[in-house]
Chains A and B, each alone.
Chain A
Amino acid sequence: MSAAISTPTPARGEFARFAARFAEDRVAVIGLVLLLAIVTMALLAPFITPQNPYDLGKVDIMDSRQPPGAKAGDGFAMWLGSDGMGRDLLSSILYGLRISLTVGVLSGVIAATIGLVLGLVAAYAGGRVETLIMRIVDLQLSLPSVLVALILVALLGKGIDKIILALVVVQWAYYARTVRGSALVERRKEYVEAARSLGLSHARTVFRHILPNCLAPVIVIATVQTAHAISLEATLSFLGVGLPQTEPSLGVLIANGFQYMLSGKYWISFFPGLALLLTIVAINLVGDRLRDVLNPRLEK
Chain B
Amino acid sequence: MLAFVIRRLAQAFFVVVAMVVLVFFGTYVIGDPVWMMVPGDATQEQVEEVRRTFGFDQPVYMQFLTFLGDVLRGEFGRSYVHGSSAIGLILDRMPATLELAFAALILAIVIGIPLGLFAGLKPDHPVSRGIMAVSILGFSLPTFWVGLMLIMLFSVMLGWLPATGRGPVISILGIETSLFSLEGWRHLFLPALNLALLKISLVIRLTRSGAREASLQDYVKFARAKGLSPRRIIGVHILKNIMIPIVTVLGLEFGSLVAFSVVTETIFAWPGMGKLLLEAIQRLDRPLIVGYVMVVVLLFVTINLIVDILYSALDPRVRLTGSQS
Give me the interface of A with B, judged by CB distance under 8 Å.
Answer: 135, 139, 142-144, 146-147, 150-151, 153-155, 227, 231, 234-235, 238-241, 254, 258, 261-262, 264, 266, 269-270, 273, 276-277, 280-281, 284-285, 288
Contact = CB atoms under 8 A, between A and B. Distances in A.
A150 B300 contact: no
A245 to B, nearest CB: 15
Interface residues of B, number: 43
B156 A264 contact: yes
Given A151-B26, A240-B282, A262-B163, A142 B15 contact: yes
A295 to B, nearest CB: 15
A150 B281 contact: yes
Contacts of B256: 144
Interface of B: 14-15, 18-19, 26-27, 30-31, 136-137, 139-145, 148-149, 151-152, 155-157, 163, 255-256, 259-260, 262-263, 266, 277-278, 281-282, 284, 289, 293, 296-297, 300, 304
Given A144-B255, A151-B293, A281-B136, 13 more contacts: A143-B300, A146-B263, A147-B262, A150-B277, A151-B289, A155-B30, A234-B144, A235-B263, A239-B263, A273-B142, A273-B149, A277-B141, A280-B140
A268 to B, nearest CB: 10
Nearest to B260: A146
A273 B145 contact: yes
Given A154-B281, A254-B145, A281-B140, A262 B156 contact: yes
Contacts of B277: 150
B145 A146 contact: no
A135 B256 CA distance: 20
Interface of A, helix, strand, loop or mixed by DSSP: helix
A168 B255 CA distance: 22
A227 B300 CA distance: 26
A71 to B, nearest CB: 25
A142 B256 CA distance: 10
Contacts of A240: 278, 282
Contacts of B282: 240-241
Given A235-B143, A238-B144, A269-B148, A139 B263 contact: no
Contacts of A261: 148, 151-152, 156
A277 B197 CA distance: 14
A277 to B, nearest CB: 6
Nearest to A284: B140
Contact of A270 (B14, B149, B266): B149
Contacts of A151: 26, 289, 293
A238 B149 CA distance: 14
7 contacts: A151-B293, A154-B289, A155-B30, A155-B31, A231-B142, A269-B148, A280-B140
